[in-house]
Amino acid sequence: MEHTPDPAYQRLANDLRAALADGTYPPGSTLPRITDLADRYSISKQTAREAIAVLESEGLVEVVRRRGTVVREQPGRRVITRSRQVHRDEIGYYFDPAAQPWVAVRKPTVGWGPAPREIAALLGVAPGGTVLIRDRLMGHPGTLAPQQAATSYLPEAIARGTRLAEGDTGPGGIYDRLERDLGHGPLTWHETIGARMPTPTETADLQLPRGTPVLRVLRTATAPDGTVVEVNDTRMSASAYEIGYPLTRDATAAWRPGGRRE
């Protein structure tokens, strides 16, 4: 089958992307002006703009007024370790050892609102049904730079009229209230990890450059009777963090000293 050549804007984007990768244009430098690119590649200025828009959508460059097209810094990713264990310290349960010291960088919000469709399905409530929403923006204690947005959703039938709906839920947070005060313990947790493009609010809260996706950890807390009592939706910059976790051997893969498999 005959190969169809890439359109001109894509060929230019490919060339510029390669130049970024090999260091021709290091972070902080500017790409040639639109008019210069158009002349060099014998293309229209609109085609050159489309090529720049591709790189901007990929988070590689940023168009800055009066400076031009600036090559973005690409920070090394930090690993959030998912050890497949739940930890506890003097504050309460936590799930990410790397994020344990983070603090709220603004006052958390607590209120009642409609359940998003995906969250409603996990909670077993009607889409748009009223749920308790607890929203936090977490970051480094020293710089207060935002690193993670975390939103908890709790069913109205469980949370209404309880301390779960208060700004300060007390020692141990919502999980201690659910387990110790409301009789839903011991809780078990399950999480999935995915990625998507951010909402405008997430872009602003996490200070994300254009074209940067978010990593998303969706965690459910389940009572012994099978009731999902909370869904936690955590988002963080995919350009700054990656998920890591240890792998353990199943019994079928057990190994004896000397190289013999059991």
Q: How does the average pLDDT of the chain come out, rounded?
A: 88
Question: Which are the contacts of 192, defined by CB distance < 8 A and separation ≥ 6?
Answer: 217, 218
Last residue of a domain, one of 30, 48, 71: 71
**Tokens 């996990």 appear where?**
122
Give per-residue pLDDT as tens, 181-228.
Answer: 999 999 999 999 999 888 889 999 999 887 789 999 999 999 999 999
Give the CATH number, domain containing residue 33: 1.10.10.10
**Residue 16 pLDDT more than 70?**
yes
Domain shared by 210 and 118, yes or no: yes
Domain shared by 18 and 122, yes or no: no
Domain shared by 54 and 136, yes or no: no
Count of structural domains within the chain: 2
Q: 261 lies in a domain?
A: no
Domain shared by 94 and 184, yes or no: yes
Distances from the Cα of 251 to the Cα of 187, 248, 256, 262, angstroms = 27, 10, 12, 9
**Mind spelling out the 3-state secondary structure of 97-153?**
HHHCCCEECCCCEEEEEECCHHHHHHHCCCCCCEEEEEEEEEECCCCCCEEEEEEEE
Q: What is the mean pLDDT of residues 61-80?
A: 77
- pLDDT at position 3, please? 56
pTM of the full predicted structure? 0.72
| Rounded-to-5 percentages of helix, strand, coil across the chain | 25, 30, 40
Least confident of 5-19, 25-39, 80-94, 111-125: 80-94
Last residue of a domain, one of 71, 89, 122: 71
Q: 162 lies in a domain?
A: yes
CA distance 171 to 151: 19
Give per-residue pLDDT as tens, 105-152.
Answer: 999 999 999 999 899 999 999 988 999 999 999 998 989 999 999 999
Radius of gyration of the chain (CA): 24
pLDDT band (50, 70, 90) for residue 23: confident
Give the CATH number, domain containing residue 173: 3.40.1410.10
Give per-residue pLDDT as tens, 55-66.
Answer: 887 778 888 888
Domain that holds residue 211: 78-244
Round to the nearest angstrom and report the end-to-end CA distance of the chain: 51
- pLDDT at position 243, please? 80
Domain shared by 106 and 50, yes or no: no
